[in-house]
Amino acid sequence: MATKKMTERVNLIDTFKDFKETKNIDRTTLVSVIEDSFRSVLQKTYGSDENFDVIVNPDKGDFEIYRNRVVVADGNVENENAEISLSDAQKIDPDFEEGEEVSEKIEFAKFGRRAILTLRQTMASKILDLEHDNLYNKYADKVGQIVTGEVYQIWKREMLLLDDEGNELLLPKSEQIPGDFFRKGETARAIVLRVDNLNNNPKIILSRTSPDFLRRLLEQEVPEINDGLITVQRIARIPGERAKIAVESYNERIDPVGACVGVKGSRIHGIVRELHNENIDVINYTSNIKLFIQRSLNPAAVSSITLDEEKKKAEVYLQPDQVSLAIGKNGDNIKLASMLTGYTIDVFRELNGEEPDEEDIYLDEFSDEIEPWIIEQIKGIGLDTAKSVLSAPRAMLVEKADLEEDTVDEVLRVLKAEFED
């Protein structure tokens, strides 16, 4: 019997040591968790833990439990959990009298293996909940910040990383930059996008496509931003392709664009490499919306702009040779400008009263072969003649004019046929 008690005690001491050595929790919290676990078992065994003292010393892996009861006359015990008869009390100490409190030490090993197993399970469950709470709180405070993790496993839809404490971080495929390629054991940087906590089971979701990832990279590379001398007002990204950043400085002696780019692009090059050669345009921010739209359409030279502030729409007029620059490859430039300024931007060719090329033909002339709504869609992106459409990128016609590929191909066929004839 003594051997059994000793074995159970050793098991409990090992349990305390395991939690103390392997769990990242402080001593005060550990004591509280262990005490709560004991009280949970006492409550199940006696129906209440109110008249018990639990003393825990996790440093030594030691504990003591005392049961406190009031001495009452023999035959007057109504609540065995809170009262003890005089005769039973005097078996503990002959000097006890009615009305006194008896504090009796309880040997937990006497509760049996089931109680000890319940204690370990309860303790493990409480520790796990505590770890989840700590993990959630740790990363909830890091949302929007860059973290680094080691690639542990790669799946089709997501990638699993481990931080320096072994916590799991998830980088979904949708939050990876096109062209991202990591191998197991490599390190990857990303921002904490959000922390989901369904059923107290936190999941840390990372992102490399968020504009905030680019913002944090800038803060790391440009001391003036980190010091508050330059402010990043707005960011628009097409991850892995192109980005536009609007920066502002309240110090006239600081050129915000030059500071962000660095000498010969030294500061921006590191960010570009991290983002797989994402083309980054840095422009000066201004509250003058017309000027801001003009700068956002760089490298195109804008002739004039008409605003509808209520509808957040802008009509931008450019010389014919500037239209394709304003729209950009696959419509990226105008899309980013719209994202950056918050305005829907439509571009139009400005002919300055001149007639179009004599050999060119207005799109309206094709209304018998091309449906009028299709013509309006194309004119809406600043292309109003046959040659301007034929010289525009096919992908731009599909995306910017919001047309089906088959529709665009049919339009191009009709227009080409006119000039072939």
181 contacts: CB under 8 Å, gap ≥ 6: none
* Domain co-membership, 127 together with 151: no
* Domain co-membership, 11 together with 97: yes
Residue 413 is assigned to a structural domain of this protein: yes
Q: What is the CATH number of the domain that holds 47?
A: 3.30.1480.10
Domain hosting 194: range is 142-209
* Domain co-membership, 98 together with 165: no
Show pLDDT as tens, one digit a residue, over the chain (421 residues): 444 444 444 455 555 555 555 556 677 777 787 888 888 888 888 888 888 888 877 666 678 888 898 988 888 888 887 888 888 888 888 888 888 888 888 887 777 778 778 777 887 788 788 888 889 999 999 999 999 999 999 999 999 999 998 899 999 999 999 989 999 999 999 999 999 988 888 999 999 999 999 999 999 999 999 889 999 999 999 999 999 999 999 888 899 999 999 888 889 998 999 998 999 999 999 999 999 999 999 989 898 899 989 989 998 888 888 888 888 887 889 999 999 999 998 888 776 555 445 567 878 788 888 888 888 888 877 777 888 888 777 887 888 788 888 999 999 998 888 877 5
* Domain co-membership, 54 together with 69: yes
Residue 179 is assigned to a structural domain of this protein: yes
Return the ∠ at Cα 365 (arms to 359 and 370), rounded to 5°.
120
* Domain co-membership, 37 together with 103: yes
Residue 125 is assigned to a structural domain of this protein: yes
* Domain co-membership, 30 together with 128: yes
* Domain co-membership, 56 together with 19: yes
Residue 297 is assigned to a structural domain of this protein: no
* Domain co-membership, 14 together with 124: yes
Q: What is the CATH number of the domain that holds 389?
A: 1.10.150
The residue among 221, 331, 224, 235 whose CA lies nearest residue 272 is 221
pLDDT digits 0-9 by tens, 144-184: 999 999 999 999 999 999 999 889 999 999 999 998 999 99
Number of domains observed in the structure of the chain = 3
d(C-alpha 79, C-alpha 102), whole Å: 14
Residue 319 is assigned to a structural domain of this protein: no
Question: Tokens representing 234?
Answer: 């707005």
Residue 185 is assigned to a structural domain of this protein: yes
Residue 148 is assigned to a structural domain of this protein: yes
Residue 317 is assigned to a structural domain of this protein: no
Of 89, 111, 136, which residue constitutes the final position of a domain? Answer: 136
